[in-house]
Structure 1
């Protein structure tokens, strides 16, 4: 494994120490590795969401020209549909 130097605030360092002393983790390194795994998962999810948005945009653009909608009529229709469903 590669060793890195990381700067933490005193509060962050204390939280790491508390987690290790409390038995939740075996070492500071274990905490950092878990944090990195969570960060990687979040980044993968963001990439998937971005790809989904790009596809939706492309599908929308390919669906043709948009049309003007009267918002009062649109909202009235939505409310009527909702009322009909109960």
Structure 2
């Protein structure tokens, strides 16, 4: 009901009223399915920026010799994660 009553997403309500979206389908829709086109574009931009920043600046978190790398077979392994923790 929150998404149907949302004044910033009038397009979603309009699609239901015009029959483009069946009322029965609303209960199984995800929040991204209900989002306005503007919100979808903003979300994609945030995801793209996050991925770029993660690829750009992965920082080492921990190094150990307790594990063997499956690629190079060396014992020196490093765990890393992106700065924002979004990956």
| TM-score in terms of structure 2 length | 0.31
Q: Which has the higher contact order (CA 8 A, sep 6+)?
A: 2
User: Max radius of gyration: which structure?
Assistant: 1
Query: Which structure carries more helix by proportion?
Result: 1
Q: Name the TM-score, length of structure 1 as normaliser.
A: 0.31
Higher strand share: 2
